Every structure is written in structure tokens, then in C-alpha cells.
Amino acid sequence: MRALILLGLVGLAAQLVDGSLGMAYGVTSTTLLLAIGTNAAAASATVHLAEIGTTLASGISHWRFNNVDWKVVAKIGIPGAVGAFAGATFLSNLSTELAAPVMSIILLSLGVYILIRFTAFGLPRGNLGKPLRKRFLAPLGLVAGFVDATGGGGWGPVGTPAILASGRLAPRKVIGSIDASEFLVAIAASVGFLFGIGSENINFAWVGVLLLGGVIAAPIAAWLVRHIPPRILGSAVGGVIILTNVRTLLRSDWIDASSGVQTVAYIIIALIWVGAIAYSVREYRADRRNESVEAIEALEAGAEPRPVDEDKTPATTS
């Protein structure tokens, strides 16, 4: 019972993060399932089955808050579904001993990417409003879907930063569109896993509590995307993913590190993680101060106050 309550809370927390950042539900949930001993294919299958419900709820919530560009959803979601089905089939055919370290390496890489991406870089806006073309979104969706299924997460970490980097879509609409299109990816990956490993290796009670937590959090996250700084949240989540998957790898048969080596590694990662969060907080506050100074200077110079840009809120300032 305690495990089910914990998984429900993880599902809730993971969806709050995912709905606010456009990533990390699958990575966070799969990381926990691996940490408690679930095999790689079953962990990814469990998360993707839960995501059918959470992504539907999240997509509807984002749509209600006008955070979704449906043209982007169609252009990236369909190729993403193809990639996800292929990735699920690939992971299902790997041996359990090989699949767990491979998935941990993928998750660790995504965690490092999330930590660096949100700690160090801002969001370009020079191309805002220009259309996103299918020749860019289709291959992006194919790769992101494959990584998502094989890594137990990755749709958001691959897709969201790539579209943000283009600067052509407002950040809140990037997040909403990625979350909405993930519904197609979750269905395709789930079908692939059911074909590949069957249903006997999947704990549907775990699926249910992950789903329940995610559905509860989805509308809250869609609202929070306008009100919380993703830079800080991204740094925090990236550190959790890195620490957990380094632990898995150090204890695997591939490395089998001594307890002393593990302790040193955890301390180093923790120090880097705390430093990253502190840096993100400082840069976020500096950005806010600069925006306030610019507004005051504009008023003192007699300029007309600029209209509020709803897409440039604290939730998207980096």
C-alpha cells in the first residue's frame, strides 16, 4: 500500500513538472520504477500506459488555457507515434540484463541535458511567430518518439528544447503542444510494448496510481506554466534524474563500484546540483530586475508602456 501511495505522489509530482516544463514525466517516473527493481521494458510500458490518460488530461487542460498549436501537434505527433512504436519493439527485444543499464544511460544523458539546458541557457525569441515546417517537425518527432520509448521518457527532453531553440513558437505553446502530441506517442508505445512483452509483466495497479496522480496534477500544471520559473524547476529535476541514474549505474554489473566510490560520486553530484539551482535562482532574479529597470526607464523617458506579453511571463523567463 505504501508503494502505491508513493507511486501516486510521484505521478502527481512528475505531471506537475511535465506540465510546467513540457518534459520529465516519463523520465522521472521511469527512473523511480527502475530504482525499485522493475525491469526496463516493464517500467517503460507502465509509464506509457499511464501516460495515455495523463497526456490526454494534460492536452485538454493546456487547450483550455490556449497553450496548444494544433498544427504543430499533427506535424510532430504522428511521426512521434511511429518512432515510439519502433522504440518499444526494440526495447522489448533486449535482454533484461542489458536493457536496465542502457535505459539508465539514456536517462542519465537526458538528465544532464535538462540540467544544463535550464541552468545555463535562455530562450531565443528572434523568430517568434514564424511557421514551424513539417520537414523540421517530422524527423524531430520520429527521433523523440524512439528515444521516449527506449528510455522510458524523452519526448519532452528531445522535442521541447528543439522547438524552443527555433524561437518560432511562444514557450507556453511549445509546452502545451508537446504535452498534447504526447498522447499519440503514449498510445503507440503502449501498443508496441503489449505486442513485445505482453501484459503479464505490467503491474496495472502501478499504472492506475501513476495515472491518478498525473490526472490530478494536469490542470494545475497547465495553470502553473504561466506562474513558475521553469529555469529553476528544470535545474532541480535534472539533478534528481542524474543522481538516481548514476546510483543505478554504479551498482550495476557493468561498474559494480565500491561504497566509497559511490559516496564520493554522490557528494560531487550533490554539490554540482546545489550550485546549479543556486545559479538558476540568481539568474532568474537578475532577469526580473533587468525587466523592472527597463520598464522604469521607459516610463521616465516618456515612452508608452509596452503591452503585457502573455507569452513572456515568469514561467518562461530564462
Q: Do the Cβ atoms of 207 and 50 come closer than 8 Å?
A: yes
pLDDT band at 267 (very low <50, low <70, confident <90, very high): very high
Of residues 272 and 255, more confidence is placed in 272
Specify the pLDDT at position 19: 63
Give the span between the Cα atoms of 215 and 54, in whole angstroms. 5
pLDDT at 96 > cutoff 90: no
Mean pLDDT of 227-255: 75
Give the span between the Cα atoms of 229 and 238, in whole angstroms. 15
pLDDT digits (tens, 9 = 90+) for 18-52: 666 656 677 777 777 777 667 777 777 888 888 88
Task: Please tell me the pTM assigned to this model.
Answer: 0.65
Q: Do the Cβ atoms of 193 and 48 come closer than 8 Å?
A: yes
Q: Do the Cβ atoms of 79 and 145 come closer than 8 Å?
A: yes
pLDDT digits (tens, 9 = 90+) for 136-182: 899 999 988 888 888 777 787 778 767 776 667 776 788 789 888 98
pLDDT digits (tens, 9 = 90+) for 110-138: 778 878 877 887 554 554 556 677 888 99
Q: Do the Cβ atoms of 169 and 128 come closer than 8 Å?
A: yes
- Locate the domains of the chain by residue range: 2-316
